[in-house]
Structure 1
Amino acid sequence: MHRDNRPIPPRDDEREQLQADLTRLVGAGRLSFEDFDRLSDVVWSTQDVSVLHRIRVQHLGAPPPHPQLPNTPVPMAQAGAYLALPVENQPVVSTMGEIKRVGQWTVPEMSRFKLNGSTLKLDLRQAQAAAPVCTFDITANMSVVEVIVPPGVYVENRLRDTLSTVTVETTQPHPNAPRVILSGVVRGSTVKVITRQAPDTNSLWNKLFGG
């Protein structure tokens, strides 16, 4: 925003790029036509560039480089420094498919997934956090869920499970790390939380944790 708190209007190329990215989500089955139409209306009507930023983080997992917004995502391990993104989160739905969030991506404060005979993989080792507590709300039927976290990130299991296997391998929380909550309902599914070192020994995680 400007110093007088007036919002900064988006550029046309920013609107076009975000709409193109949302179109690819529709083609991949990760966004419904109804949600695409609703979001497109917002993309082309808003006069606040931060609205585009929130849509991108919510649906695409990471903000684009922008001279008016932070270029570098906030590390999950950095206490007290996170992106406040009060956005409405639409569930990601998959039937007999696969959902993957790996590599460098931004974890929203709330993520919702609805799975039917599907696989969900969430790798947080190189991820950034939008809040000090990130919640994955999962509704899964006959599905497989795998969550990989780096040492120091504590995972709290609040799942309600029926005829399922839930394994949580977590460590003592690091004072600079966020907390992850698993909530929702799983039926006839397998949920596994694994703690592993970040793949790069010179990664940001290891530097912040003194590795």
Structure 2
Amino acid sequence: MNPSMNRPRQPRDEDREQLQADLTRLVGAGRLQFEEFDRLCNVVWSTQDKGVLDRIRAQYLTHYAPQQPQPPQHQQPPQQPVPMAQPGAQHVMPVEGQPAASTMGNIRRTGEWTVPEYSMFKLTGSTLHLDLRRANAAAPVCTFEIQAAMSSIEIVVPPGVYVENRIKDLFSSVNIQTTQPLPGAPRVVLTGSIKGSGLNVTTKQAPPQNSLWSRLMGS
């Protein structure tokens, strides 16, 4: 008997990333708790047996289907997005995230905006700046997939928003400054890969909206 026949199959990074993305959608749909999500992600990224991933998918995702819309006469009002800062920013309706790409350019999001459940950024020799301190979250877990080469990425979050780094880095510098999550606060998950780039995540208090600086800047 060939001994290699009994060896477990090695999971691909693509298999791990896809399963984590599917589990993230379960959290956003309220079908999976944060604690269980964290435990499963640890297993997904530590196991060397693809059969483990298949068993997780069979247990948690086989019977999952998006909820069908309810009749309008008994329909509940739509859920409002949750402010990143707890409490803080005004509520706005969520906006579906669109893939953003830049070559030798700049992508910048600040102020009051809605962070989609999933966002993708493709950068080549570019700068990405995301300030979440006055933003709202469209889901309990917001995932940023970043594919970058020779680029600079800066993400600013308010205290209480936990940032989980799942990015694969090659010849890059990574600095993650995060805090313990506050109850009810959204989480940020970073996925993707960066090469020859710099990733810097900092935690800062949101500037007061009635400050002199805010009034001068019209924010």
Do both proteins adopt the same fold according to a TM-score greater than 0.5, normalized to the shorter chain?
Answer: yes
Is residue 2:72 matched to residue 1:5? yes
Instruction: Find the counterpart in structure 1 of residue 184 from structure 2.
Output: 176
Aligned: 1:104 with 2:171: no
Q: Deviations over 1:29-74 (max 9, x none)?
A: xxxxxxxxxxxxxxxxxxxxxxxxxxxxxxxxxxxxxxx989x854
Cα deviation for residue 91 of structure 1 reads: 1.5
Instruction: Quote how far apart the aligned CAs of 1:5 are.
Output: 2.9
Is residue 123 of structure 1 aligned with residue 131 of structure 2? Answer: yes
SS at the partner of 2:182? Answer: coil
Structure-2 separation of matches of 1:77 and 1:162: 32
Q: Is the 8 A contact 2:92 2:136 kept in 1?
A: no
Instruction: Give 1:77 deviation, angstroms.
Output: 4.7
- Structure 2 gaps of 5+ residues are 1-69, 212-219
Compared with structure 1, are the counterparts of its residues 78 and 92 closer, same or farther at alpha carbon in structure 2 (3 Å cutoff)?
same
TM-score by length of 1: 0.57
Pairwise CA RMSD of aligned residues? 3.2
The amino acid that maps onto 1:142 is M
Find the counterpart in structure 2 of residue 94 from structure 1: 102
Q: 1:117 to 1:77 in 2, by over 3 A?
A: same
CA contact (8 A) 2:84 2:135 kept: yes
Cα distance in 2 for partners of 1:121, 1:148 equals: 8
Give the AA of the match of 1:169.
Answer: Q
Quick one: which amino acid aligns to residue 92 of structure 1? Answer: A
1:76 Cα deviation after fit: 2.9
Q: Is the Cα contact below 8 Å between 2:178 and 2:201 reproduced in 1?
A: yes
Question: In the alignment, which of 187, 201, 204 is matched to residue 196 of structure 1?
Answer: 204
Paired with 2:112 and 2:92, the residues of 1 have a C-alpha distance of 16
Counterpart Cα distance in 1 of 2:209 and 2:109: 21
In structure 1, how many angstroms separate the alpha carbons of the residues matched to 2:95 and 2:206? 29
Structure 1 position 85, deviation (Å): 6.6
CA distance in structure 1 between the partners assigned to 2:155 and 2:166 by the alignment: 14
Find out whether 1:140 has 2:138 as its counterpart: no
Q: Which of 56, 80, 84 is equivalent to 1:76?
A: 84
Residue 5 of structure 1 aligns with an amino acid whose one-letter code is P
Identify unmatched segments of 5+ residues in structure 1.
7-67, 204-211
Distance 2:131 2:110 in 1: 5
User: 2:9 aligns to what?
Assistant: none
**What is the TM-score with the length of structure 2 in the denominator?**
0.55
1:154 aligns with 2:155: no
Distance, in Å, in 1 between the alignment partners of 2:153 and 2:134 is: 18
One-letter amino acid of the counterpart of residue 72, structure 2: N
Hey, what's the Cα distance between the residues in 1 that align with 2:144 and 2:194? Answer: 12
Q: Secondary structure at the match of 2:192?
A: strand
Is contact 2:85–2:158 with CA below 8 Å preserved after alignment? no
Deviant stretches of 4+, over 6 Å: 82-86
